Amino acid sequence: MRRAVCPGSYDPPTNGHLDILERASGLFDEVCVAVLINKSKQGLFAVEERMEMLREISAHLGNVRIDSWHGLLVDYCRQHDIQAIVKGLRAISDFDYELQMAQMNQQLSGVETLFMPTKPPNSFLSSSLVKEVATYGGDVAHLLPEPVHKRLVRRLSQ
Ligand code: PNS
């Protein structure tokens, strides 16, 4: 069984995330989407809400499983017999930090990281920017899967 993990904060999941999940799902027997806490980021959605959104938007992918994890990603991989971490790369600005994490994870446990280039229309997209634009009333409907956009609008109106 070839198993990969797509880890991230997913606060909230964007079209860019969904594109990577769809493409990873075609390459592996099983893809685990792990919602992890990034200590350097303040969350808008609770982990359970992020998982619900991910379940909704990946319902058409039969081999994708949604999960969450507190702790080191390599421990998650070890516990779930995962051989590869799949990360989307938007631009060279992502590369430095992603490379550092990939090398650290490889050195800690031997798990490999595969970088998947985002599709060009998603290359400027991030959850943080989407939240910022939406907070000030900008239209982000075309950047998010519909159920995610609905939840974001509802959350920001509260
Ligand atoms: O979506 P993000 O915020 O860019 O995802 C970053 C994330 C959550 C994947 C990264 O911070 C992570 O792997 N955190 C888990 C803790 C861990 O393993 N830290 C050491 C990384 S070398």
pLDDT tens sequence across 11-53: 999 999 999 999 999 999 999 999 998 777 779 999 999 999 9
pLDDT tens sequence across 100-133: 999 999 999 999 999 999 999 999 999 999 999 9
Q: What value does the mean pLDDT take over residues 138-153?
A: 98
Beta strand ranges found along 14-143 (DSSP E) = 30-36, 64-69, 84-89, 112-117
Pocket test for ligand 1, best of 101, 112, 113, 114 (most atoms within 8 A of CB): 101
Q: Would you place residue 93 in the very low, low, confident or very high pLDDT band (cuts 50, 70, 90)? A: confident
pLDDT tens sequence across 54-77: 999 999 999 999 999 999 999 999
Pocket test for ligand 1, best of 20, 72, 125 (most atoms within 8 A of CB): 72
Query: Is 41 a catalytic site residue?
Result: yes
For residue 109, the Cα-to-chain-centroid distance in whole angstroms is 21
Query: 111-130 in b/e burial notation, b at 16+ Cβ within 10 A?
Result: bebeeeebeeebeebebeeb
